Structure 1
Amino acid sequence: MTTTLITGANKGLGYETARQLLAAGHDVWMAARDAERGAEAARRLGGRFVRLDVTDPGSIAAAVQTVGALDVLINNAGISGGMTPVGEVTAEIMRPVFETNLFGVVEVTHAFRPLLEKSELPVIVNVSSGLGSLGWANDPSVMEYHVPALAYGAAKAALNMVTVHYAKAYPGMKINCVDPGYTATDLNGHQGPQTIEEGAEIIVRMAQVGRDGPTGEYVNRHGRVPW
């Protein structure tokens, strides 16, 4: 059985991804920083709960010991950082977004890599966003161009670069970043036009890639996303 860990799994895309992967036969660890909410989410779905705050190294280290073995890591936990006008964005506004959406991914990946390296088919899925696409940020014909998400977009663009470097450094793993698309979740006040099931589809698909599957790619459910 494939053992999968999903960060930020107590709600939204993480929760739906857990639901779909449990249905596909995965043994799913549902990680969340809030122990009460995380445990309740895992109970509802039949997953296993582990407390994990991606900004807390001690929490991450404890989670590694609890999980013990791992095949698939889904770095999903993230925060939006709000929609501060670009000219008013400061380093203090950007810092917590980078701490969670970028540095948290690096810390979790670094900590769980020894477990993944023992897997026969290790997979990492980094949940990025179309707002991290430099191509779309410069294309007035797409929605992403018109969203002033400086902190969030910059962190996701950096996450994309991190993904590429990990994929090159560990060719024995399948490491990709995905854009779930504009999905109705707590992160955006449930404004996205996609359903949660549609948003999770690409995460679930890339969590199940085989030995001949892609690595170092940036994709959504329709295909490749421009870097």
Structure 2
Amino acid sequence: MKENEPIVAVVPAAGVGARMQADRPKQYLQIAGKTVLQHSVERLLENDRVQAAVVAVSDDDPYFDDIQWQSDKPVYRVSGGCERADSVLSGATYALTFLNAHWVLVHDAARPCLRSADLNLLIEKIVNNTAHVGGILAVPVRDTMKRTTGERVEHTVDREQLWHAQTPQLFPATALTKVLSEGLADGAIITDEASAFEWANQSHIVVEGHADNIKITHPEDLVLAKFYLDQKTQQEFI
């Protein structure tokens, strides 16, 4: 990667996480003395190539400004939107306009267990691959997959070439803001950044990560995330 191609992390964190049944959004729940959001953002900032983080939160968020970041790199707050894609577009636009970002690394606020080796691999494979516009971390589907109608099983889905998409997802800043803007204007269903590029028929790749890069969604996920984080030796999982 060229030194003049800075990477800026963008973290959408405007959601309320209703399924957690907690008194605050899940990104502000505590694990081992830090919020989930702190773990997620600081994990990105540990990487030498990531220069800053932009976190998109709701305008009435009362928690973000109280966080004491344990990183020398800057963390910027921007206004999030109603949907994930709106928040990512807000963060990516800020990164492109004010931070001169060449690459935008989008990561879920509720994925605190990212391995630094996986992040390194993603960056190396994406920035050195001129045949594709970007790529994502993902893990192969291992379980038997069923397609249903309601509770009725219709058939088993072939799991070959099926992947569980994760984050981070890494794309050029200009291209990302363009496909998000155009996709949202067109009413496209954008569930992650990769789906915006799929809508635009632009090729990207998967980089195999690890299943312990979980997204905290339900209360029991906090316990599992704490277990994974407890396995760390300095910067990596055993």
Is TM-score (shorter-chain normalized) higher than 0.5? no
Q: Counting helix residues as a fraction of each chain, which structure ranks higher?
A: 1
Q: Which of the pair is proportionally richer in strand? A: 2
TM-score (norm 1): 0.39
Bigger radius of gyration among the two:
2
